[in-house]
Structure 1
Amino acid sequence: MTKIADLRSQTADQLSDELLKLKKEQFNLRFQAATGQMEKTHRVGEVRKDIARISTLLREKRVNA
């Protein structure tokens, strides 16, 4: 889980890169769940919430710019 203070200190490009990384992880987790290989089931919710946090911060930065 990523802290919001750490995310706020990052630039929009860094946040976009992090968002892309999290979306790839989310895809891999969904694939693992479908094949029955998932070990860390709690990670799905964490990734989803981190994606929402970063998306919100990116929108906030775009509105303020």
Structure 2
Amino acid sequence: MAQEFSKGDHVSWKSHGGEAEGTVQKKITEETEAAGRTVKASADEPQYEVKSEKSGGTAVHKPGALHKD
């Protein structure tokens, strides 16, 4: 089972320029528009919206791509 994250968790993930860090904003459990794209998430396969510390932008990642710091 994939790791669970909560709003406010500090996480890191691999990015184009190496490793990025940020904060979990919310858990997404249904298909929705987030971070400028359609996110195909479900209760069984959630995704997480994170805010980058460096850019201030948001992105959506699957739990396997995130690492809790």
- TM class by shorter-chain length? under 0.3
Q: Which has the larger radius of gyration?
A: 1
Q: Which has the higher helix share?
A: 1
Q: Which has the higher strand share?
A: 2
**TM-score (normalised: structure 2):** 0.25
**TM-score (normalised: structure 1):** 0.26
